[in-house]
Each structure stands twice: as structure tokens, then as C-alpha cells.
Amino acid sequence: MSKSTPAISSVKARAVVTPMARPVKNAFGVIDVAPLVLIDIETDQGITGHSYLFAYSKVTLKPFVHLVEEIGRDLIGKPVAPFELMKLMDARFRLLGWQGLVGMAVSGLDMAFWDILGRAASKPVVELLGGSARPIRCYDSYGAVEADADEKALLRSLDQGFKGIKIKGGDGDAANDERRVKGLRRLLGPDVALMLDFNQSLDPAEAKRRIARLAPYDLTWIEEPVAQENLSGHAEVRETSEIPIQAGENWWFPRGFAEAIAAGASDFIMPDLMKVGGITGWLNVAGQADAASIPMSSHILPEASAHVLAVTPTAHWLEMLDCAGAILADPIKIADGTLTARGPGLGLEWNETAIAKYLV
């Protein structure tokens, strides 16, 4: 193989809808399937890079696939140099902006670029970033579960070594949130971290009331209590909260995090690789978090997140929510509550038989 940098020869995307290993109920409904966009970037050196995106809704799949391929068409012939390619895509969409499907498509392409470079070097991406594959502490991510009805599943998570459990709230009144948290704290005991995610379902006044009511139950964080774009509202809630505030999965690209950090919007941050600008964007935000001494966690995409958290100075928790296991040839494995990055590249290999079954 040539030692020159691979160049992009084609960009292809496919849509699948796979079953969720565990349906997730939140304040707005139930997510029981995973609409995914699978990205394959071929190069002139015969190396193909992979990544995937969680599309949230089946409605977005067709335009999402088209958008990934159209953006990719303009990159054919370009060397796989992620920082340079990010500049090109930034210039193309400067007037439109990064939010929404465009930002997610750009992020997915970036992850596949890094996968190519790792495969070309026969190394996991984490080593290209100057780190080494090491076990990253995970929490198991649940929906709006109950201590009695879901006891078996929760105890299975503890048996797998998870030292943290995240649940959803906001699907009822404050009394319902307290009842759920109280029951789970009793079941899990005092040594397991318990996080509560409101999924942006409250206004600042109601968030402050509920957090005050939940303070006695030793929660590790309250996640997205108010609308993600309401940075002043997050800061207002944080000012009086006895529980740390977590946010960031819906903040877009490094600039969004710079604005949120400047606003004092949260105690912790948790970028989503498909909204922060992929691995290239993540590295920028990791520097911001280090400078501000803010613990930094991940949101979904555990396979790629294990690579970037291993080189994040303020790495905190990795979210374990399996969206892609059904279409991977070698799904991720949790070992004593941790996940270790695999290679080459991001360690993603498709199960084409399963993809054919779930292809849209």
C-alpha cells in the first residue's frame, strides 16, 4: 500500500431500522426502534471507512441518506485529512448553518474519515489521537423505568459491573419523579451513581422545584432540565441546584459549547459525536472542557466514544446505549462496567446479512 494519504473515491449511505436492545421511554414517548444511517467511504487505496448515525425518526432517513451522499459527492478526489475536510464543509454551509441534518451528516462523514486513517495505519483511532485503548467507565442508560417492574434488568446491569444507571423523568408530575427516584435509590444502594434525564421537558421554575425535591436522593446529575437552547435557563437552574447539571448532547459543534460554557449553563458536558462535528469537533470541545475543568461524558455512539474519551483530559462517563448491535458483525462487549476502544479504525464491521434484513 502506498504511504500517501488515501483519497476519497465514493461516498455511500444506507438506511436501516433495527430493533432496540431495550426500548427507551422518555417524557415525549417511547423509542423502540433505531433508525440508523450507515456511511461507507471508499478510497483510492482500497480502504473503506465506516460510521453510523442515529436518525431519531424514520421520517428523516430518506433525506438523510441523500444529504450524506450529496455532500460526499463534492469531496471525491480529496485526501482524507479530517481537519482540512471540515474547513471545506464549513465553508460550504456557512450561510446555512450547522444545525440539524446537515450538521449530523458532516459529523458522520468526519467519523468515517478517521476510521479510514486508522485502517490505513492498522491502528485504532485512539492511537492516532495520541492515546491508547483503555477501559472507560460506563453507565447503563435506561428510560423511565420502575424499581419493581424493571428490577431484573437493573440488577443484571449491576451484575455486568456497571457503577452508574441513568433513567428518564418528566413523564409525570414531581411526585412521580420522586417516587421513581426513591425506589431506584433503594434498589441500587448508595454506591451506584444514579442520573436523571428530563430531556428538556421542564421550564426553569418547574425544574428548580423538582430538583429541590430530589436533592435527598444523592443524584450524580440532572440532565437537560430545560430546552437545550435556553442557556440562561440552564444557568438559572444551576445557580440554585444542589445536584450538578449535565447538558450538551444537543449543543452544536465547538462554538455551541463555547457559548454554553461562557453562559455557565452546566456543571458537566456531554457532547454527542454526531452533533459536535465528529471526532474533529470533539477534540476541540475536549480542549475547552480541560481549560474550564469541566467533566466531559459521551452521548450514545459508544463504539466511537470509547476512542475519544480515552484522550479526553476530563473524561467522566461513557453512555452505554446499544443502537447498532443488531447490524454489527462484532457488537461491543462490556467488561466489568467498562468499554475499551477497538480497531483498526473505529472497530466497526457491518453484518451484511442483518443489514439486508433491516434495510429501508
Residues annotated as part of the active site: 168, 299
Phi, psi of 246 (to 5 degrees): -115, 140
User: What's the one-letter identity of residue 277?
Assistant: G
- CA atoms 144, 148, 149, 152: torsion sign: positive
Taking CA atoms, 259 is separated from 52, 150, 228, 230, 348, in Å, by 28, 39, 12, 11, 33
Residue 221 φ then ψ, to 5°: -160, 160
Are 85 and 92 a contacting pair, CB within 8 Å? no
Amino acid present at 305? S
Rounded to the nearest 10°, the torsion over CA 99, 104, 105, 110 is: 120
Q: Report in angstroms the alpha-carbon separations of 154 from 163, 172, 194.
A: 11, 21, 12
Contact 245, 276 (CB under 8 A): no
Place of cell 491508547: 132
Residue 147 has, within 13 A of its CA and on its CB side, a CA count of 15
